[in-house]
Amino acid sequence: MKRVSQLTALALLIGLSSSVSFAADMLSPLTFSQLQQQKGVAIDTRLSAFYNGWPQALNGSEGHEPAALNLSASWLSAMNDAQLTEWIKQHQLQSSTPVALYGADNDNAAVAERLKKAGLTHVSLLGDALSQPERLQKLPHFEQLVYPQWLHDMQEGKAVAAAPKGDWKVIEAAWGAPKLYLLSHIPGAGYIDTNDVESEPLWNKVSDDKLKALLAKQGIRHDTTVILYGRDVYAAARVAQILLYAGVKDVRLLDGGWKTWSDAGLPVERGTPDKTTPAPDFGATLPGQPQLMLDTEQARGLVHRKDASLVSIRSWPEFIGTTSGYNYIKPKGEIAGARWGHAGSDSTHMEDFHNPDGTMRSADDIAAMWAQWHILPSQQVSFYCGTGWRASEAFMYARAMGWQNVSVYDGGWYEWSQNAKNPVSHGDRGPDASR
């Protein structure tokens, strides 16, 4: 193989960078007002964290332009042409729809190239993007979904936006022994086995006494900020939702989980967790928010109501009764009157809620997906799945979106299906069947 000198490689790199910048310069600029007049669409090419509301610099602007879509340049390597075409279709963009990009020059150029290749013919730059903070939109609680660089900066002692007000901990959550954790984890992270927060036979939340003991062992009080991540986002979400139920005031998720940290190339360590000093007491009544976890009777009270939704976060084959989704759950079907909140291809995936990098899909996309099934933020909404993991992830997203009256039906399909007297639905059906 022919060797390339460092100077040659540098020249090639500079040339590539220059060509990308040149491509960005070739895009004509539009103001936001002009884009609106043309009934066009703004596209934010930055990371979803910045789109959601995190400032790129301390005290910088927060959020995205009104009704802007998020197509991060960082996703492009994970999106083939068919997937990008599907994204365009989902967002109802036509070949002639004016779109204006904003973000870093290189990112805009990369996204523009792919959009033009996909058939969009009116691609411009948004010349006055992020220049008027008062018009920007953001997740009401964007701080509940943290991103890797923010966490790393905080670990390094740097000033960060939305910093915890007191003590904080980073904890990895997963089922079983910490096999992958021992090989590589976020520096300083503790570990929680989900077996410590839920138990057989139905995998419901453990008793409040056991939960209190676990929190004490982990050194967690009601005023400790807990930042959770997982190899599977929904494992961390399950623990997060239970901690919120217990009364921990500030619980956050690393958006996209371990993958986003690994992809960012940030430091890792291996080995067992550092020794934790137990907390002498929780410092508040436990549970602090019992309304966040519903039992079967409470769940039953939500069905067939216009002001409430019992929401199935299960795959479509599970929802219509083709499969139970689990080898240890035999009955197939769905809670009669439940509304479908989407999930993914099977019981171990949540693609419907994820961007290509595994981070949370935009709030507008999720809200529109739910609205099709008459699931609205004004309602009392309780999510469930088979045993609580997927439901907890949907709960955490709804909470970040500012939905006020949300909870998890802890027992889910597993508990509901154990009682033959509980009404069950089977077969293909649409949104109006739940009314």
What is the token pair recorded at 89? 């279709």
Q: Based on the residue annotation, tell me whether 385 is a catalytic residue of this protein.
A: yes
Place of tokens 């997937």: 83
Place of tokens 């491509």: 23
DSSP string of 221-250? Answer: -TT-EEEEE-SSHHHHHHHHHHHHHHT-S-
Over its C-alpha atoms, the chain yields an Rg (Å, rounded) of: 23
Largest CA distance in the chain: 76
Spatial distance between the Cα atoms of 356 and 75, rounded to a whole number of angstroms: 6
Identify residue 377 by its one-letter amino acid code.
Answer: P
Say if CB 191 and CB 273 are below 8 A apart: yes
Q: Residue 150's closest CA among 168, 130, 135?
A: 168
Spatial distance between the Cα atoms of 198 and 324, rounded to a whole number of angstroms: 20
Query: Which of 226, 235, 253, 385 is the catalytic position?
Result: 385
CA distances to 6, 87, 102, 292, 334 from 92, in Å:
46, 9, 19, 36, 31
Say if CB 193 and CB 235 are below 8 A apart: no
CA distances to 25, 83, 117, 190, 231 from 75, in Å:
22, 11, 16, 30, 19
Q: How many alpha carbons lie under 13 Å from residue 261 in its C-beta half-sphere? A: 26
User: Which residues are paired to 230 by β-bridges?
Assistant: none
Spatial distance between the Cα atoms of 102 and 305, rounded to a whole number of angstroms: 42
Number of H helices, E strands in the chain: 15, 19
Beta strands 424-425 and 334-335: pairing type? antiparallel
Residue 171 DSSP symbol: E
User: Which residues are paired to 294 by β-bridges?
Assistant: 409
Cα angle 311, 316, 318 (rounded to 5 degrees) comes to: 80
Kindly list the catalytic residues: 385
